[in-house]
Amino acid sequence: MNAAEAFGQYLALVQANAGILDREPDLLANIREQATEDAADLIETYKADKDVPAECRTTSLYAPDYGINLSHIDMTADIAASFHCGVPNLNCYLAVVVNDVVHFTDTLGRLPEGLEIYSLRDVPAKYSEESSDLISRGFPVGSLLLTDGIYIRVAEGCRVDKPIQIVNIFKSDTPLLTPRRIIVDAKPESAVRILICDHSQSPAMQHLSSEAVNVAVGRGARVEIYDIEESSQATHRHRQLYAQQAGNSELVVNSTYLHGGVTANEYNVEVDGDGAFTDLSGLAVLSGKQIVSNKVVLRHKGRHCTSRQLFKTAVFDKAHGAFGGRVIVDQNACDTDAAQTNRNILVSPDARMDASPQLEIYCDEVKASHGATTGQLDEQALFYMQSRGIPRDDARRMLTQAFMADVIDHIGYEVLRQRLHVLVEKRLNGDSASCSACASACRTNNNEI
């Protein structure tokens, strides 16, 4: 299927259901109208989407005939059934998204002053203009079909004490595309930490999660976003992160892939202000025929800014990983310090990994570096461990876990860091980790919502 067919089917669907969509809130209707106008440009833009594995291209991801919940029908899901890890509780503010319908738990009834969380269907009129600018960023097909999402607003000077967790659950009897949108608007001198977990309660059913996370990091603010994917082989995911940073702000983003099918992650960060700090990292453990692509575009516009990237992938069996990193330093972004690192290991002879780090520097007064390596486990280390009585499979698992450790240790949030060590160990042991970084916290009094 070509680009016009892949994306045109959704435009036709929206046009055919105009009567249903006319009842949507103005905020969502305006986004859909803009996405409709952009449809032609969208088709031309993604014809040339060839720098990722074929399965991760948007034309491939959106080509199947998925069902769409345009009527915003609520579907129940058993929260407790999604979590099986015995790690301790995580104290957090919790929201659950079942397919593409947002549910708020009672933890959100006790928000601190300065923190506001809304469904996109209920954003107050006083915030509609500023939220509309943020919502508009993202893949236009997701905007065309968007019927719900989460808007998080952190007032100036508000330092949120507990993390906000968003649990995405897929549950359907038919193949389904679920457009999801998360908006984070962190005002100057604020601080917030967000965890996003993906699960499937219909593991054999085809599913495409189309999610955009749009972040505005105000002057002197700090935003941390942690994403854990633990879904199923039948799940495909297209996830985009768009972030803009003001002066002296800090943005920390970490992504962990434990289980899934085909995943295409895109990171688009614009560092507009002076003195900002950006930290992007991720790890993926791939097996079977899983495919994961991480694509980063980071543009430095401000002066005296620092950015760090660290992505690692372990590839088993016939899995396929890809990393594309592009750091752009604009002409006026003097005294930029940018480092990009990608490390990968192929644990099986049929495993594949593509890596393409890039630097574009238009300013002389910068410090920038990039590097990518792909190799195999150290045979001498394997031999040494076997000579000490450690079975070869156990030795491979231990070396792979050690290879991943620095990405996890890189995480400043101690509670999550400890749990990710457990989850990755379970994944390498062949157990289902079931994103239980916050499992117990998701067991509410009413397990079904």
Q: What span, in angstroms and rounded, lies between the C-alpha atoms of 100 and 112? A: 26
Give me the sheet containing 222-230, strands edge to edge: 101-104, 93-98, 164-170, 191-200, 222-230, 250-259, 277-286, 306-315, 336-346, 366-375
Note whether residue 28 is domain-resident.
yes
Q: What span, in angstroms and rounded, lies between the C-alpha atoms of 306 and 336? A: 6
Note whether residue 449 is domain-resident.
no
User: In the predicted model, is pLDDT for residue 155 greater than 70?
Assistant: yes
* DSSP secondary structure code for residue 159 in this structure: B
SS3 365: coil
Question: Residues 270-299: pLDDT tens digits?
Answer: 999 999 999 999 999 999 999 999 999 999
Q: What span, in angstroms and rounded, lies between the C-alpha atoms of 61 and 194? A: 27
Note whether residue 13 is domain-resident.
yes
Supply the pLDDT for residue 6. Answer: 74
Residue 49 domain boundaries: 3-442
| pLDDT bucket at 433, cuts 50 / 70 / 90 | very low
Q: How many helices (H) and strands (E) does the chain have?
A: 10, 20
List, in sequence order, every beta strand (DSSP E) within 44-189: 67-68, 93-98, 101-104, 115-119, 150-154, 164-170, 176-186
* DSSP secondary structure code for residue 205 in this structure: S
Question: Residues 242-266: pLDDT tens digits?
Answer: 999 999 999 999 999 999 999 999 9
Note whether residue 131 is domain-resident.
yes
Supply the pLDDT for residue 318. Answer: 96
Q: To which H or E segment does residue 190 belong?
A: none
Supply the pLDDT for residue 40. Answer: 65
| pLDDT bucket at 440, cuts 50 / 70 / 90 | very low
39 backbone dihedrals φ, ψ, rounded to 5°: -60, -45
Question: Residues 217-247: pLDDT tens digits?
Answer: 999 999 999 999 999 999 999 999 999 999 9
Cβ neighbours around 73 below 10 Å, total: 10
Average pLDDT over residues 417-423: 90
**Percent of the chain surpassing pLDDT 90:** 55
Supply the pLDDT for residue 139. Answer: 76
User: In the predicted model, is pLDDT for residue 436 greater than 70?
Assistant: no
User: In the predicted model, is pLDDT for residue 377 greater than 70?
Assistant: yes
Average pLDDT over residues 19-44: 77
pTM for this prediction? 0.91
| pLDDT bucket at 439, cuts 50 / 70 / 90 | very low
User: Does 100 or 19 have the greater pLDDT score?
Assistant: 100
Q: What span, in angstroms and rounded, lies between the C-alpha atoms of 154 and 131? A: 12
What six digits make up the tokens of 79?
């929260």
Supply the pLDDT for residue 278. Answer: 98
Supply the pLDDT for residue 196. Answer: 94
| pLDDT bucket at 319, cuts 50 / 70 / 90 | very high
Nearest residue to 57 (alpha-carbon basis) of 48, 68, 66, 44: 48
Supply the pLDDT for residue 34. Answer: 80
**Percent of the chain surpassing pLDDT 70:** 89
Note whether residue 102 is domain-resident.
yes
Give the number of domains in the chain: 1
| Residue in the block written with tokens 């607003």 | 153
User: Does 357 or 137 have the greater pLDDT score?
Assistant: 357
| pLDDT bucket at 81, cuts 50 / 70 / 90 | low
Q: What span, in angstroms and rounded, lies between the C-alpha atoms of 79 and 186? A: 29
What six digits make up the tokens of 248?
């002296």
- The amino acid at residue 50 is K
Question: Residues 109-154: pLDDT tens digits?
Answer: 789 999 999 999 999 988 887 777 787 777 778 888 888 999 999 9
User: Does 440 or 9 have the greater pLDDT score?
Assistant: 9
CB 169, CB 199: distance < 8 Å = yes
Q: What span, in angstroms and rounded, lies between the C-alpha atoms of 224 and 220? A: 13
| pLDDT bucket at 441, cuts 50 / 70 / 90 | very low
Supply the pLDDT for residue 412. Answer: 86
Note whether residue 448 is domain-resident.
no
> Alpha helices of 342-391 — where are they, by DSSP H?
379-387
User: In the predicted model, is pLDDT for residue 444 greater than 90?
Assistant: no
User: In the predicted model, is pLDDT for residue 434 greater than 60?
Assistant: no
Supply the pLDDT for residue 44. Answer: 63
CB 153, CB 120: distance < 8 Å = no
User: Does 27 or 49 have the greater pLDDT score?
Assistant: 27
- The amino acid at residue 416 is L
User: In the predicted model, is pLDDT for residue 167 greater than 60?
Assistant: yes
Exposure string over 384-411, b if 16+ CB within 10 A, otherwise e: ebeeeeeeeeebbbbbbbebbeebbeeb
Nearest residue to 28 (alpha-carbon basis) of 116, 151, 115, 117: 151
Q: What span, in angstroms and rounded, lies between the C-alpha atoms of 283 and 266? A: 14
User: In the predicted model, is pLDDT for residue 87 greater than 60?
Assistant: no
Average pLDDT over residues 191-214: 94
SS3 156: coil
Q: What span, in angstroms and rounded, lies between the C-alpha atoms of 351 and 171? A: 31
Note whether residue 136 is domain-resident.
yes
